[in-house]
């Protein structure tokens, strides 16, 4: 019966969203009940064909069935195309179809009810709500990925700074060792070289600064690394 009216089995994929699927099935069951009880479409008059009321009833039944098939087809098309950002255009599309199809049926005073239109709009809005939720989840995942990329970039920069600080500390340590060796040799021969001694002191201060910078770089780099379980 329902296929004859263009109301097919639910085919929208809600994935793991059981709450949306359950609510959509409720809406679809409501639509089936309206079709069964004659609440989805009506004819405002009684028709006879060649004086035969039965033929008139059959004509109206077929007419209403055609209207519903056309309307349900248009609604299914709108629902299949609804996204998180186009609900208004899909609502307008469904309402225009409702008006156009009812205009066609007005010749025989046949029409789809506003109650049934509301039920189809409920279905549309429910699917749209699910699309909005999917979009929110996609946006959340995008932000997480972006944050991870930024954190990875920052970690690489800090690790690079740590390596550079270690190299600078190593270079200054080597220079200090050579300067101290030169000063020791000078003392062995009883020579005093003020410039050499000043060089040693300068290198010591520079090395202390380099060690402090290296330690800070290590600390910052460690803050960006994921904790490991022991």
* DSSP-assigned letters across all residues of 103-123: HHHGGGTEEE-HHHHHHHHHH
Instruction: Place 230 in a pLDDT band, splitting at 50, 70 and 90.
Output: very low
Same domain, 220 and 133: no
Q: Which helix (H) or strand (E) holds 84?
A: none
> Does 106 lie in the same domain as 138?
yes
Mean pLDDT within 134-145: 94
Q: What is the mean pLDDT of residues 172-194?
A: 82
Average pLDDT taken over every residue of the chain: 87
196 lies in some domain: yes
Higher pLDDT, 182 or 112: 112
Our CA angle for 29, 30, 31, nearest 5°, is 90
101 lies in the same domain as 210: no
The residue whose two tokens read 């429910």 is 126
Measure the CA angle with vertex 83, ends 133 and 86; round to 5°.
Answer: 120
Positive/negative CA dihedral, 109, 96, 75, 19:
negative
Residues 45, 76, single domain; the answer is yes
User: Are 129 and 42 found together in one domain?
Assistant: yes
Share of the chain above pLDDT 70, in %: 88
Domain boundary among 142, 168, 196: 142
- pTM (whole model) above 0.75: no
**Token pair of 173 as six digits:** 């340590």
Measured between alpha carbons, how far is 101 from 64 in angstroms, rounded to an integer? 10
4: confidence class by pLDDT, cuts 50, 70, 90: very low
Summarize the confidence of residues 152-163 as an average pLDDT.
88
The answer to whether residue 28 sits within a structural domain is yes
pLDDT tens per residue across span 66-84: 999 999 999 999 999 999 9
Tokens 């009506």 belong to residue: 42
- Rounded average pLDDT over 213-222: 83
Residue range 10-31: mean pLDDT, rounded = 76
Of the candidates 210, 91, 220, which has an alpha carbon nearest to the alpha carbon of residue 151?
220
- Cα–chain-centroid distance for residue 1? 38
Give mean pLDDT, residues 181-207. 82
Closest CA to 99 of 82, 117, 124: 117
Quote the CA–CA distance of 162 and 57 in Å, as a whole number.
88
Q: Are residues 162 and 66 in the same domain?
A: no
Q: Are residues 184 and 132 in the same domain?
A: no
pLDDT of residue 174: 93
What domain range includes position 206? 154-224
| CB < 8 Å & 24+ apart, contacts of 45-52 | 45/109, 47/108
* pLDDT bracket for residue 10 (50, 70, 90): very low
Mark which of 107, 142, 177 sits at the end of a domain.
142
Same domain, 44 and 92: yes
Same domain, 63 and 85: yes
Is pLDDT larger for residue 150 or for residue 186?
A: 150
Rounded to whole angstroms, the maximal C-alpha distance in the chain is 140
Indicate whether 79 and 183 sit together in one domain.
no
How far apart, in whole angstroms, are the C-alpha atoms of residue 36 and residue 40? 8
* pLDDT, position 12: 52
Q: Mean of the pLDDT values across residues 162-180?
A: 90
Q: How many domains does the chain have?
A: 2
Query: What residues contact 153, with CB distance under 8 A and at least 6 apart?
Result: none
| pLDDT for 216 | 85
Q: Residue-wise over 158-172: b if at least 16 C-beta within 10 A, else e?
A: bbebbeebeebbeeb
What's the confidence (pLDDT) of residue 14? 55
48 plus 134 within the same structural domain: yes
Whether residue 106 is contained in a domain is answered as yes
């Amino acid at each position: 019966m329902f296929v004859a009216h263009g109301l097919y089995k639910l085919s929208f994929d809600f994935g793991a969203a059981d709450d949306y699927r359950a609510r959509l099935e409720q809406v679809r069951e409501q639509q089936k009940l309206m079709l069964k009880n004659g609440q989805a479409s009506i004819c405002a008059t009684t028709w006879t064909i060649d004086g035969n009321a039965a033929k008139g009833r059959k004509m109206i039944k077929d007419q209403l069935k055609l209207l519903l098939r056309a309307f349900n087809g248009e609604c299914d098309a709108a629902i299949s195309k609804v996204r998180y950002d186009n609900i208004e255009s899909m609502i307008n599309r469904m309402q225009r179809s409702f008006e156009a199809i009812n205009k066609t049926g007005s010749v025989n005073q046949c029409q789809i009810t506003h109650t049934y239109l509301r039920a189809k709009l409920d279905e549309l809005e429910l699917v749209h709500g699910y699309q909005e939720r999917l979009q929110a989840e996609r946006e959340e995942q995008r932000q997480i990925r972006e944050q991870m990329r930024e954190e990875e970039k920052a970690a690489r920069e800090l690790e690079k700074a740590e390596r550079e600080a270690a190299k600078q500390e190593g270079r200054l340590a080597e220079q200090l060792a050579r300067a101290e060796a030169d000063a020791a040799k000078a003392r062995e021969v009883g020579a005093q070289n003020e410039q050499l001694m000043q060089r040693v002191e300068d290198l010591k201060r520079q090395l202390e600064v380099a060690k402090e910078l290296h330690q800070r770089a290590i600390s910052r780099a460690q803050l960006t690394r994921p904790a490991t379980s022991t």
